[in-house]
Structure 1
Amino acid sequence: MHIRRLAAGLGAAALLLLTAPAAGGAPAVDPVTLDGPGQITDQVGALGSRKPDVEDALRRLDTEHGVQLFVAYVRNFAGRGAQDWADATATKNGLGQNDVLLAVATRDRQYAVSAATDSGFTEDQIREVNATAIEPALRQNDWAGAAIGGADGLGAVLAGDPVPAPAITPGPANPGGDGGAEQFTASDVIIPVVAVGGAGAAALYLFSSRRRKRKDTGGGEPAGWGGDGGAPPVTPLPELDDRAKQLLVETDDAIRTSQEELGFAAAQFGEATAAPFDQAVTSAKEELTRAFRLRQQLDDAYPEDDATRRAMLEEIVHRCTEANKRLDAESASFDQLRQMVTKAPEVLANAEAAAARLPERITAAETALTAMTGEYAESAVTAIAGHPAEARDRLQFATQHLGEARTALDAGDGNTAAVHVRAAEGAVDQAETLAGAVLRREGELREAAAKTAAAIRDTQADLADARGMVTGTRQDESTADLRGRIGRAESVLAEVGREVAAGRYDPLSVLRRVEEADAGLEEALTGAREREDGERRASALLDQALLTARSEVDAARDFITTHRGGIGTRARTRLHEAERHLDQAESLGATDPATALQHAQRADQLGEEARRLAEDDVSGYGGFGGPVPMGGGLNTGMLGGLILGGMLGGGGRRGGGFGGGFGGGFNPGSFGGAGTTGRMGGGGRF
């Protein structure tokens, strides 16, 4: 039965191969790579001798209005919707805020226009250009006239003039035909038949061989071989794992960028106005946190079987997808709120004011770093040693683009001004984060130093109680455990005593080690203490643990946020888990300090691991000409820092392609999910 079904299927395949040419179907055209240089991609020869006329119209639009119209003529849209195909092609080619794409499928007689949502055009304006200047030409097969009409129409909209109707010159109904699919020879038939016959023989042999092997080993029929209930092919686990990692990174970046944008909006319009978008970010973060928790479980020392691993990876993909959908649902409303083009003067003034405050802030960070370097051990400042220099690089980048934004605005070019302002905003925000991290670390070290003496006294008191418990008691397993804890605490106290006496020590490291040693003693002494005293001591230990945990988690978060262009999933996974444990510690602190302490300690460990993994990623990052040196603290230089900060790139999510002054285009992000095109348009059949 199975062989007959397979044979029938192969016969049908052969028939399809024999009849497909006669059907005259054109090959499907997936979203294409646009031809370059130039703005015209014509795979069907639709423009013919009128290509220079189209080039003149496109050049005129660019020269007069700073907008590039790209045109693409293909046979079909590969079974996709016209708008979907156009948006996917625009995204694939990194088209940005000042770029518009006109895509035309000549054989299937469909078209679409794709423009960025923050391009300055409204959907009504694009529909007017389509209806008045593009579609009438397409209906009469005037392929060149459609592009010329589109360019002139967009220019008219930008100039505030009525959209002109095109002068139509009809052309061939199906330029390029169907790619020669109708013409074939006997060899075109013989070769497929031979191929199908060979494939059929090989398949029958393989099927019989596999069937015999299954029977020899006592197995049933192999799944997916035409039998009832055969499962379709599934994505291989390694491929699914790579996809899950990629989505985690992309979604994490999207949320971080959306949070930055949300901060700008809240400062400009108030917290109440930004509340719906804050809810979207919070919802997306919850999904992402669950996804990263699954990733942490996959990364731990307990391997899952393949079925469990697949289910967990699929859930990661699902949760990342849902997080992105949640952001995308609000992206259009957010773009409408900010209206970077029309509100460019106001936004520019705010960005200039923020940048003006930065030099003093960075100088304070440099002064603080110098003082900390002289007062504390090197390990106390390693995490923030390169931050002031990086902050100055970000400020220099912001200053240049604020100047270019002001020039563009004075020239009446709101589109260009908006792009430069957005890039400057991101750089200012990261510079503030970097400088703030240094100043925060200064406060943390002073607070830890102030708590160290009391922590040592508490541990010494617990040591005395613990020694009293083991003196003269019968030796058993619990006593041996307590003696081990006593030995550990004695060793830690002796070690930190030497470090403190030496003068330059790391207060956070000292406090962490004392707290961990004391927590071990406290756990063993809990049953012997009065309830009230035990809760007091647990709260004191939690207070110390929260200080070190917050310090580590904040340091990891700042580093990953400002260097996210070069950081992979492992560091991000540890950070999200650290943040989750820190939240648990803070929420349980008042009711269950003992459990909260465990969460705080775990957050501290994961935060330190996240930062170390992130620094390792950046040290080996070759995205701008080689690894980044880490000696004496990270200092990537301006170009490297901007790439790592996510502000430079050759296209990407919702931006890209605009020529900056640092050897490449900058890529300011926007509110929305990973892979969000941020594009709009219109089109249909003609």
Structure 2
Amino acid sequence: MVGALVGVGWLVLPVMTAGDGDPVPVSPAVPAASAAAPHQDETSATDLVLPLAVLGAAGALAGYGYLRRTRRARTRTTPGVVSAAPPVPTSRETERQARAALVLADDCARGSEEELSFAQELFGAAAVEPFAHALRAARTELSAAFAIWRRYEEGVPGDEGARRQALVGVIGRCAEAGRRLDAEAAELDRLRGLEQGVGEALEVAERRFRELTARTAAAQATAAGLHERYAPSAGTPVTGYVEQAKDRLVFATSQLNDARQAADSGDGARAARHLRAAEGGVIQAGVLVGGVERLAAELREAAGLVPTALTGGEAEIAEARKDGGRTPLATGELHARLAHADGVLAAVRAELIGGPYDPLDALRRIARAVERLEVGRSGVVEAAALLVARSAVGGAQDFVAVHRGAVGAHARARLAQAVRALGSGAGRDAEADVLAGQARELAERDVRVHGNPYAETAGHAAGLSGAVLGGILLTEEPDAGPPVSFGGPETRGRRRLR
């Protein structure tokens, strides 16, 4: 601006000083240097060249400065004048945040439940009730968040703005679930007092470890018996569970030893850290062994129920064939479904006398064939459907629990919906069965994609890979990270290396 003013002044100066009224004293006359020099009484054009050049340069500099200031304001990273409104995240970014929030909140609830089981064994149910209440409240928030997410996945609501609000609701519910757990973490630490001494807690963990070691040996024999007694598909849900249980126990052994050594040396914080990691390994070994034991019991129950379910199914088919039966189906559709049901029951009867078969799958096919007739189900068929659904949901829950380090939001949301359907008491057994199957399939896919970033090498602790995959450790430090403790996002990883 200063340069521009100088240039303008220079331009008008000759004009203002031109004429006869010049107040400056005139020097005495001297001989002319050249007779040819003309007398100029007006401003010469050459006098304007330099002022114009200055003015142009000043304008160019002003324009350059303006462009620099504009570009700097747009890319500013230091405090300054910025828009009062924060940038609005895109729909894709909000959806990603909602998925991450669901996984984190679910992990916090699962990890909190694991530690709470050890505290309850040592101090009793009454002493841990405040923490159990916080966990129930967190699970209520989480269940609501999963329900909103599932409706979002199904396209409800349809309006873009409402869908964004639904995602914000999911994130908010998850945050509240985490806050509930964070609020009680310090008090649980005071109750357990691990940093002051792990003696009694270590004894509880070691006792569970010894019990699980014996159960794991028995579960190995049980799993082998499933393959001998039933069709291969019957034992598929627990394939590899015994080996994984052994891996978790190896990890627990290492951590228990480290905890005792740290306690003996007076390092309470490190002893507490290793004890929590050992407790996580023991819990997950128990889930894996329990999965084998439960499936064996369910298959035995199913095998005893199949003949009765066949009889009940035939009764329902006969009812549907009667004139004026209770089914609302059109005649042609009813005949097609009756033919299908007859075929299913005939195939199951052939399997009963044909060698090893899958009793749970047989019950599933009977229940679904009868359900398609829409005449209601007899008590025995209803019991068969419930047993199948319980088995599917339990198997999916176990799988997610011991692989949660890799399982994403979609599988967890299906599982949460399956749990709600099973617990509704409204005859939604078939829905729960289907949803649990979808959850298991999605979870297995997530695990395959995740792979094994912590292969067992000389630089890694024994069982570290399984501990990371199971979400026992948080993978934030050279030795994989702190163990999961009771709490939400702010407190669950508080036992970090110092």
Preserved contact between residue 423 and residue 666 of structure 1 (Cα < 8 Å): no
What code does the residue aligned with 1:236 have? Answer: T
Equivalent-residue separation in structure 1 for 2:164 and 2:144 (angstroms): 16
In structure 2, the CA distance between the partners of 1:518 and 1:670, relative to structure 1 (3 Å rule), is: same
* CA distance 1:477–1:548, shift in 2 (3 Å): closer
**In structure 2, what is the Cα distance between the partners aligned to 1:465 and 1:507?**
25
Q: Distance in 2 between matches of 1:548 and 1:621?
A: 29
Per-residue CA distance 1:33-60 (angstroms, 9 max, x = gap):
xxxxxxxxxxxxxxxxxxxxxxxxxxxx
TM-score, normalising length from structure 1? 0.58
Identify the match of residue 642 of structure 1 among 467, 473, 497: 467
Q: Does 1:511 align with 2:351?
A: no
- Alignment-derived partner of residue 482 in structure 1: 334
Provide the alpha-carbon RMSD of the alignment: 2.8
Aligned with 1:615 (options 437, 444, 452): 444
- Paired residue for 2:488, among 635, 658, 673? 673
Q: Any idea what SS the aligned residue of 2:151 has?
A: helix
In structure 2, what is the equivalent of residue 126 of structure 1?
A: none
Q: What whole-Å deviation, never above 9, does each CA across 1:571-625 have from its counterpart, x for those lacking one? A: 100011111111102xxxxxxxxxx22x221111111111111111111213516
Paired residue secondary structure (2:372): helix
Instruction: Give me the identity figure in percent.
Output: 40
In structure 1, C-alpha distance between the alignment counterparts of 2:228 and 2:494, rounded to whole Å: 53
Query: Aligned partners of 2:475 and 2:329: how far apart in 1?
Result: 63
Letter in 1 for 2:361: S
What secondary structure sits across from 1:620 in the alignment?
A: helix
**1:434 to 1:469, Cα distance in 2 relative to 1, 3 A:** same
- Aligned AA for 2:371? A
Distance 1:462 1:403, change over 3 A: same
Corresponding position: 1:194 with 2:19 = no
Deviation, 1:494, is: 2.4
- How far residue 466 of structure 1 moved from its aligned partner, in angstroms, is 2.3
Contact 1:427 1:647 in 2 (8 A): yes
Equivalent residue number for residue 601 of structure 1: 430
Distance 1:414 1:293 in 2: 42
| 1:670 positional shift | 0.9
5 Å-filtered alignment, 1:44-59, equals none
Name the CA shift for 1:420/1:305 in 2 (closer, same or farther; >3 Å). Answer: same
How do residues 339-488 of structure 1 correspond to structure 2 at under 5 angstroms? 339-469=193-323, 478-488=330-340
- 1:232–1:413 CA distance, 2 compared to 1 (3 A): closer
Q: Does the 8 Å contact 1:399/1:424 carry over to 2? A: yes
Secondary structure of the residue aligned to 1:665 is coil
Q: Which residue of 1 aligns with 2:134?
A: 280
Shift of 1:467: 2.4
* Residue 567 (structure 1) aligned to one of 393, 407, 416: 407
Give yes or no for contact 1:390–1:638 (8 Å, CA) kept in 2. no
Alignment of 1:497 with 2:349, yes or no, is yes
Give the deviation of 1:191 after TM superposition.
7.1
Question: Is the alpha carbon distance of 1:197 and 1:318 closer, same or farther for their aligned partners in structure 2, counting shifts above 3 Å?
Answer: closer
Distance verdict in 2 for CA 1:194–1:275, change over 3 Å: same
Q: Please list, as runs of the form range in 1=range in 2, the aligned pairs for 1:122-161 lying within 5 A after superposition.
A: none
Give the direction of change, closer, same or farther, for the CA distance of 1:572–1:306 in structure 2 (3 Å limit): same
Residue 565 of structure 1 aligns to a residue in which SS? Answer: coil
Alpha-carbon shift at residue 197 of structure 1 (Å): 4.8
1:227-266 matches, within 5 Å, as 233-266=87-120
Superposition deviation, residue 250 in structure 1: 0.5
Aligned to 2:167: 313
Q: TM-score, normalised by structure 2?
A: 0.79
Inter-partner Cα distance in structure 1 for 2:122 and 2:354: 50
Change (3 A) 1:544 1:191: farther
Separation of aligned partners in 2, 1:624 and 1:434: 22
Q: CA deviation at 1:493?
A: 1.1
Change in Cα spacing, 1:563 to 1:232, as seen in structure 2 (3 Å) is closer
- In the alignment, is the contact (CA less than 8 A) between 2:156 and 2:163 conserved in 1? no
| Aligned partner letter, 1:650 | T
Structure 2: gaps of 5 or more residues: 1-61, 75-82, 456-461
Q: Is the 8 A contact 1:387 1:435 kept in 2?
A: yes
Q: Hey, which of these two has a bigger chunk of strand by percent?
A: 1
Instruction: Identify which of 191, 205, 209 aligns with 1:337.
Output: 191
Aligned residue type for 1:488:
H
Contact 2:209 2:249 in 1 (8 A): yes
User: How far off is 1:411 after superposition?
Assistant: 2.1
Q: Deviations over 1:441-480 (max 9, x none)?
A: 0000010111111000111122223223379xxxx96323
Report the secondary structure of 1:341's partner residue: helix
Count how many residue pairs are aligned between Structure 1 and Structure 2. 421
Q: Name the aligned partner's letter for residue 579 of structure 1.
A: V
State whether structure 2 residue 298 is matched by structure 1 residue 298. no
Secondary structure of 2:161 counterpart:
helix
Change (3 A) 1:296 1:477: closer
> Cα offset for 1:292?
0.6
Distance 1:198 1:262 in 2: 56
Structure 1 residues 305 and 623: CA distance shift in structure 2, 3 A: farther
Amino acid corresponding to residue 395 of structure 2 in structure 1: A
Distance 1:191 1:265 in 2: 69
- Label 1:199 to 1:428 Cα distance change in 2 as closer, same or farther (>3 A): closer
Residue 57 of structure 2 corresponds to which residue in structure 1?
A: none
Aligned AA (2:475):
G
> C-alpha separation between the residues in 2 aligned to 1:648 and 1:677?
10
Give the secondary structure class of the aligned counterpart of 2:435: helix
1:624 and 1:639 in contact (8 A); partners too: no
Q: Distance in 1 between matches of 2:223 and 2:279?
A: 25
Q: Which amino acid aligns with 2:487?
A: G
**Bigger CA radius of gyration:** 2
On the 8 A contact 1:647/1:666 being kept in 2, the answer is no
Structure 1 stretch displaced more, 252-261 or 537-546? 537-546
CA contact (8 A) 1:280 1:327 kept: yes
String of CA shifts for 1:197-235, please: whole Å, max 9, x gaps.
Answer: 56999xxxxxxxxxxxxxxxxxxxxxxxx9xxx986422
Deviation string for 1:276-305 (max 9, x for gaps)?
Answer: 111111111011111111111122266723
Residues 486 and 232 of structure 1, relative CA distance in 2, 3 Å threshold:
same
CA distance in structure 2 between the aligned counterparts of 1:577 and 1:387, rounded to whole angstroms = 25
Q: Deviations over 1:252-271 (max 9, x none)?
A: 00000001111111111000
Cα distance in 1, alignment partners of residues 187 and 345 from structure 2: 58
- What is the match of residue 177 of structure 1? none
Which deviations, in whole Å up to 9, do the C-alpha atoms of 1:143-186 show, x marking residues without a partner? xxxxxxxxxxxxxxxxxxxxxxxxxxxxxxxxxxxxxxxxxxxx
Separation of aligned partners in 1, 2:363 and 2:412: 26
